[in-house]
Structure 1
Amino acid sequence: MKFPGRRKIKHYFPVNTNNRFDMESSVFGQTNTYACGIDQNLVDITARVDLSVLNDFGLDKGASQWIDDDTANRLYEFLTDNELIEDQFAGGTIGNTLHNYSVLADDRSVQFGVMSTNIHVGDYAYRYLCNTSSKVDLTYLQPVNGAIGRCFALITDDGERTFGISPGLMNQLSPEFINEEIIAESSALVLCAYTLANPELPIYHAMIHAAELARKHDVPVILTLGTRGLVKAIKEPLLSFMNDYVNVAAMNEEEAEALTGESDPVQASEQMLQYVDMVLLTAGAEGLYLSGYTEKSLARETDNPIRSGAISDFNRFEFSRPLFQKDCEEPMKVYSHISPYMGGPKNIKNTNGAGDGALAALIHDMAANHYHRLVLPTSSKHNKQWITYSSFAQVCKYANRVSFEVLAQSSPRLSRALPEREMSLEDSYWDQ
């Protein structure tokens, strides 16, 4: 477990004469800290084709549409035989998030889902494994006799993209393949609202089972919201699930508006805090917001310029650390905001995955806090059951920087950790 930048062990976390650990015990490096999550495993397949191909396979140009397994198999075989495939890349919002977490933390994460039993070198399932960090533990995937999800992006000569989506067997994850011990010992369980869409699918019941296990073992549950259309379609069951199980909700401004009716990010965040303990809201060119609760008596004022909007001086206490509302004697809502890092990349070809990158940074900070609490439980950093190691403001900085990196490389999955020392981390960085 590490934070970005190459640092000596003694400087990972602030220590003093009253809470120094026994160097002889060599505790650091032996504690098993990880995050886990459930995903609908799928592969994005990009190919350049003639208009005749769309007609032959019954696809509407420029549209996003579902295709059955037989059509998907025939299309994949055609594209392969004619060497039209440009790229096959692992997708899935939770898969992206866990991959990015493992790249940032240089540490283990565990992914639940399905994977084809028969994998051939070069095929879509093989590409999924190749595009996933070796730090992501895939040994708990459920084997299935068939294809995982496939999303075909077919590009015609005019540059327009036509999408054909085949779910395959990605929704067949059984609750029996959710390992209780893995969830019980994890620092967070990461889920996506997509798996709540259809209660008749096995993966829906696997997700509910995992959430119940996390609640049983006091493991924080993190939920990403998917798309605006999905949120509208399942709004009531989604709010009910969040109220029952979720601690941290991650979304963009469109999803937040669909769920709360509020177009202003701060007001939407305030509404969401009725259901969860923390809200990560990405708002495109406006930047990102992080909201939550802290203990009023322990709140710390910011040194940054005070900002006002729908809520006056909303970022005044952004140097505070987040707490679960239930752990506050006198809970106080805290809001933090940051504009895009360096104004955002000069050229943005694809915004896919920026929110997943920001969430991976937040999970990394949560896992680092869990790790530090395990190895140094007497530290003054743990006088309360804090959710993160860093303040609202510092988590915003980290999430913002990771989001920038995802946008700059035009890929939802980081290919490397952040450049060494680029964030100018000094010892006080993680104290704030």
Structure 2
Amino acid sequence: MKFPGRRKLKHYFPVSQMKPTLPFLEVRPDRDTYIVGLDETIVDVVASVNDAFLKQHGVTKSLSNLVDHKTATSIYQQLIDSGSISDHFAGGTIGNTLHNYSVLADDKSVLLGVMSSNIALGSPAYHYICHTSSKVDMNHLQGVAGDIGRGITLITPDGERTFAIAPGDMDELNEDHIPEDIIAGASAFVTCAYPIRHHGKPIQKALILSLEYAKRHSIPVVMSLGTKHLVEENHQQLMDIIHKYVDILAMNELEAEALTGLKDPLLAADAALEFVDMVLLTAGPDGLYLCGYTDDEFKRETTNPIKSGTLADFNRFEFSRPLSKKACTSPIKVFSHIDPYMGGPEKIKNTNGAGDGALSALLHDIAANNFHREVMPQSSKHKTNYLAYSSFAQICKYSNRVSYEILAQNASRLSKGLPEKEDSLEESYWDR
């Protein structure tokens, strides 16, 4: 029998050969390369409104507003009645990042969080699962009786984003559902600062336990900062967690200013490197920065034009590969910057998820490094314990391209990988 689709002759399943085993959907810590993320599981509802709508519902513009279930339902119903909703998306900073990672890597990731035990058609949980890659392992989610979160993104004519968040049971994740063996086998553990603001909720303790497991097993910890106001309101607690657990920070220029007190992105990244090993900083129309450390012995000079800003010749060694500061005998700081891909999309309707896309590319490179080290431990690529497979400059290029794809498709998550016509870009990316 000839099967449909493009197949080579040897793939017609000859009866003399053993049938291949079905792929495992659940992560196997002793065999698979994967990343783990902890998130508040939430569905994003995107709608266009005016300033009067925000005032009517007591929602403060440009901020992330926590609202009760009644207020959220009222907002949602009015948006439906006016036909203002453009779409529903599975959301959450880390949920977006894991989905994008699995699309880019075509491989597994593990999500820790909650999920409704009973999922009805059209419910937040239903939309979340429908819009998440099947490669994201959800077998370790905690079942809850109520709904997961609902985040309503309200976009005003000036392009400003305002969030109305109805938490539901998204913060009920408890310590019993944090699997140490899964975290111990990961290439990286990624989380965000949002759970920090929910004082007294189980998810705070679950987050700290996850960080403890990652630290115990020397798994790189990556944290995304959330929003500027979250950083300002929880600054001391956040700094304590960063100093104790975090290796890599992902943030935008506003969050960086709130964290360090420095408005210039380059200086803010430089300051952040005093307490973490790497910084991914997205700066809107100014592009993005990737900053970190390498050893003076292994530094590599760029062949790109030398750039100067508040730091002179800051990208001179951007062809170096990232190392943790403690792994360096003579550490030097490395800075790389890239302008928006092709100047950025012609029209940007929604910036949700652009930073998450950039972070997923970095995580893909970290996981690729881990995989390559396991299968080819004698390779010259692993003569020292690098954090990532590629150079700062090449990771910048990859992160920038993924971020562009998110912006261009007007969605918070990738619907597919990078276009096939860019295979040559990918080849050069992995070869460098």
Range of TM-score over shorter length = 0.7 to 0.9
Deviation at 1:254, TM superposition (A): 0.7
Which stretch shifts more, 164-173 or 330-339? 164-173
> 2:171 touches 2:198 (CA, 8 Å); kept in 1?
no
Q: Which residue of 1 aligns with 2:113?
A: 113
Q: Which amino acid aligns with 1:223?
A: M
2:310 is the alignment partner of 1:310: yes
> 1:60 touches 1:162 (CA, 8 Å); kept in 2?
no
Deviation at 1:369, TM superposition (A): 0.3
Q: Which amino acid aligns with 1:391?
A: S
The alpha-carbon distance between structure 1 residues 119 and 336, as it changes in their structure 2 partners (threshold 3 A), is same
The alpha-carbon distance between structure 1 residues 69 and 305, as it changes in their structure 2 partners (threshold 3 A), is same
Distance 2:267 2:79 in 1: 48
Q: Which residue of 2 aligns with 1:60?
A: 58
2:151 is the alignment partner of 1:151: yes
The alpha-carbon distance between structure 1 residues 327 and 69, as it changes in their structure 2 partners (threshold 3 A), is same
The alpha-carbon distance between structure 1 residues 207 and 307, as it changes in their structure 2 partners (threshold 3 A), is same
Which structure 1 segments of 5+ residues have no match?
Answer: 1-29
Distance 1:295 1:207 in 2: 32
> 2:398 touches 2:429 (CA, 8 Å); kept in 1?
no
- C-alpha distance after superposition, 1:268-310 (max 9, x if no partner): 1110011100000011111110000101011000000111111
How many pairs align?
401
Distance 1:155 1:372 in 2: 43
Q: Which amino acid aligns with 2:57?
A: L
Structure 2 counterparts to residues 207-222 of structure 1, below 5 A: 207-222=207-222
Deviation at 1:49, TM superposition (A): 9.2
Q: Which amino acid aligns with 2:173?
A: L
The alpha-carbon distance between structure 1 residues 423 and 302, as it changes in their structure 2 partners (threshold 3 A), is farther
Distance 1:85 1:187 in 2: 38
Distance 1:51 1:400 in 2: 32
Structure 2 counterparts to residues 90-239 of structure 1, below 5 A: 90-153=90-153, 164-239=164-239
The alpha-carbon distance between structure 1 residues 74 and 309, as it changes in their structure 2 partners (threshold 3 A), is closer
The alpha-carbon distance between structure 1 residues 267 and 50, as it changes in their structure 2 partners (threshold 3 A), is closer
Return the TM-score normalized by structure 2.
0.86
Q: Which amino acid aligns with 1:356?
A: D
Q: Which residue of 2 aligns with 1:377?
A: 377
Q: Which residue of 2 aligns with 1:43?
A: 43
Distance 1:119 1:85 in 2: 22
Deviation at 1:314, TM superposition (A): 0.7
Q: Among all aligned residue pairs of Structure 1 and Structure 2, give the percentage whose two residues are the same amino acid.
A: 56
> 1:239 touches 1:275 (CA, 8 Å); kept in 2?
no
Q: Which residue of 2 aligns with 1:250?
A: 250
Q: Which residue of 2 aligns with 1:422?
A: 422
The alpha-carbon distance between structure 1 residues 88 and 379, as it changes in their structure 2 partners (threshold 3 A), is same
Return the TM-score normalized by structure 1.
0.86
Q: Which amino acid aligns with 1:238?
A: L
Which stretch shifts more, 334-343 or 151-160? 151-160
- C-alpha distance after superposition, 1:367-387 (max 9, x if no partner): 000011111111111011101
> 1:62 touches 1:161 (CA, 8 Å); kept in 2?
no
Deviation at 1:60, TM superposition (A): 3.2
Distance 1:79 1:397 in 2: 38
> 2:54 touches 2:60 (CA, 8 Å); kept in 1?
no
The alpha-carbon distance between structure 1 residues 211 and 79, as it changes in their structure 2 partners (threshold 3 A), is same
Q: Which residue of 2 aligns with 1:390?
A: 390
Distance 2:239 2:358 in 1: 23
Distance 1:92 1:228 in 2: 16
Which stretch shifts more, 79-88 or 164-173? 79-88
Q: Which amino acid aligns with 2:58?
A: D
Deviation at 1:84, TM superposition (A): 8.0
Deviation at 1:424, TM superposition (A): 2.3
- C-alpha distance after superposition, 1:56-109 (max 9, x if no partner): xx7237756433234445766787899986532211100000000000000000
Which structure 2 segments of 5+ residues have no match?
Answer: 1-29
> 1:336 touches 1:396 (CA, 8 Å); kept in 2?
yes
Deviation at 1:199, TM superposition (A): 3.8
> Secondary structure of the equivalent of 1:279?
strand
> Secondary structure of the equivalent of 2:332?
strand
The alpha-carbon distance between structure 1 residues 177 and 419, as it changes in their structure 2 partners (threshold 3 A), is same
Deviation at 1:236, TM superposition (A): 1.5
> Secondary structure of the equivalent of 1:355?
helix
> 2:60 touches 2:162 (CA, 8 Å); kept in 1?
yes
Deviation at 1:422, TM superposition (A): 1.3
> 1:48 touches 1:155 (CA, 8 Å); kept in 2?
yes
Distance 1:154 1:262 in 2: 29
2:260 is the alignment partner of 1:260: yes
